Amino acid sequence: MAEAGADAIIAHVGTTVGGAIGVRDAVCSLDEAVERTQKIIEAARRVRKDIFFLSHGGPISAPKDAAYVNERTDCVGFVGASSLERIGIEQPLIDITRRFKAIPVQNRGLKSTTKRRNS
């Protein structure tokens, strides 16, 4: 990508871990993600010095994870995909579904429905 002239390179360290349907076990730890990310950065910088770098994937699935990577590499940001579009909304969806299921139902509503079905 550096040779092709990319202005930004995303250091992708694997399928994002977490959430209801995400990978269960990280292919690498957060510290290994830091190491892999910096190796990608160093390889690209051997070609060009004017690229900026972002992290993505693997165990980097929450803001604290991205901050950890940024603090230990030359990354200037994070590219969110499933960590934003899926993982970030799963728990709120579960929570609101539970709240809807907990709404009390009046018995008279159930009785009238039952009578109509048997008629």
Question: At 80, is the pLDDT very low, low, confident or very high (cuts 50, 70, 90)?
Answer: confident
Spatial contact of 67 and 98, defined as CB atoms under 8 Å apart = no
User: Which carries the bigger pLDDT value, residue 62 or residue 116?
Assistant: 62
- pLDDT tens readout for residues 11-57: 999 888 777 666 666 678 999 999 999 999 999 999 999 999 999 99
Q: How far is CA 16 from CA 45, 48, 57, 88, in A?
A: 25, 28, 4, 13
Can you read off the two tokens belonging to residue 94?
């579960």
Provide the pLDDT for residue 113: 56
Give the type of residue at 95. Answer: D
For residues 80 and 84, give the distance between their C-alpha atoms in angstroms, rounded to a whole number.
6
Strand-pairing partners, residue 89, are none
pLDDT for residue 67: 96
Alpha carbons within 13 angstroms on the beta-carbon side of residue 64 total 0
